[in-house]
Amino acid sequence: MRILNPQTYKIALISLTFFATKAMAQEGNVSVSQDSRFEQLLAEKRKINSSITVNDKYKVQIFYGDNSKARKTLTDFRRDFKDLDGTIIFESPTYKVWVGNFKSRIDAEKRLIDIKKKYPHALLIKPNK
């Protein structure tokens, strides 16, 4: 095996370092194209998630029972109160229909009066996180 002299060793080391850094460098542009339906699906998912999330806002529970009656109650509610959103929450073994997303208790109590005319067993709740 041949031993390199110090000057050749330095030149080899410098050239290897130079070529190694050039080999690691990357250049280029990335363009992403996605289907417009993806954005629509994402918007729907965000809407659904915002109605399902349990937060520090007040809600009104209008039903507590089995699945088929909960779905019917929610459909009827959406027909009667178009400005309020509702969702079905499952807590084994029953289903609950929660409506509204009120920032303050006062707002929730005002709407509760209107809701109780149609759903007399409605009650005000503040879900835990």
- Domains in the chain with CATH codes: 54-125 (3.30.70.1070)
pLDDT per position as a tens digit, 88-126: 998 888 999 999 988 889 999 999 999 999 999 999 998
- pLDDT recorded at residue 91: 86
pLDDT per position as a tens digit, 16-64: 776 666 655 567 788 888 888 888 888 888 777 665 555 678 999 999 9
The shares of helix, strand and coil residues in the chain, as percent rounded to the nearest 5, are: 50, 20, 30
CA distance 89 to 96: 5
Sign of CA dihedral 54, 56, 57, 59: positive
CA distance 68 to 52: 19
CA distance 62 to 75: 12
